[in-house]
Amino acid sequence: MKRRRGQALPEAQAHSEGFRQTREARRSALVEDYLELIADLIEDGNEARQVDIAARLGVAQPTVAKMLSRLAEEGLVERRPYRGIFLTETGTRIAQASRERHEIVEAFLRSIGVSAETARIDAEGIEHHVSAETLEVFRRLAARRPS
């Protein structure tokens, strides 16, 4: 947490809360990215296959296999032999919430003049770290301005 020169440090508990939220966002970001991508692949009319996930995330297939095992253990995806990967009901809810946050952040960035491509890329990181309060402000401000 950055502070201005001469500004007092926040109280310890309040200070640590910001760091706790950031750590939690980092932990959930990767899971959300996988679930959102799986939902996108399925929605696009294709199966979500390990090879496609690896290509789109720019990672190796063993990395994807490890994460898919974790997601299956957590009850977020089902892996069906010779049929690909499918989201559970819980996985679908998380993917939809992540997609909605992404869309709100991207719309807000576009509304303040950020180019479409940059807004899409930047929203991918911001969506995981933004609070519900900030997200609601982004939603209201984006709705006021034409994109």
Report the pLDDT value the prediction gives residue 109, as an integer from 0 to 100: 95
56-111 pLDDT, tens digit per residue, is 999 999 999 999 999 999 999 999 888 889 999 999 999 999 999 999 999 999 99
Strand, coil or helix: 77: strand
CA gap 21, 108 in Å, rounded: 22
Mean pLDDT of 39-51: 89
Report the pLDDT value the prediction gives residue 99, as an integer from 0 to 100: 92
pTM of the model: 0.77
Strand, coil or helix: 54: helix
